[in-house]
Amino acid sequence: MGYDEFKAAVRQLLDGPLDAGGGLMPIPAVRRAFAGRVSDPEFDVLLCAMQRDGLVHLLTHVEPHRLADEERAGCLHHPSGVTAYWVCPV
């Protein structure tokens, strides 16, 4: 999947109705939406590129120690060392 296709798909996920989770989504849920289409390392690179391009904000979880192991594993491990759990459109 190329960057433009990835951007469009992420925007579609994030632009859903607010009461259906649109606007702010857990990165592990977004990652699961791309399962089978994008590898985990490729997902991280593409989502970081969206942040770099000013299209999304990546946010940490307030209590990451309370996340299930599966959710923690699905977080984005940013090159800066931050573990991001939430993604939202700019």
pLDDT of residue 39: 96
The pTM score is 0.89
Outline where 1-90 has alpha helix (H). Answer: 3-14, 27-33, 40-52, 69-73
Of residues 70, 3, 69, 77, the one with CA closest to residue 38 = 3
Structure tokens at 35: 């399962």
Residue 64: the pLDDT is 83
pLDDT at 37 > cutoff 90: yes
Give the rounded percent of residues in the chain with a pLDDT score beyond 90.
Answer: 77
Q: Which residues, other chains included, contact 31 with Cβ-Cβ below 8 Å and sequence gap of 6+?
A: 40, 43, 74, 76
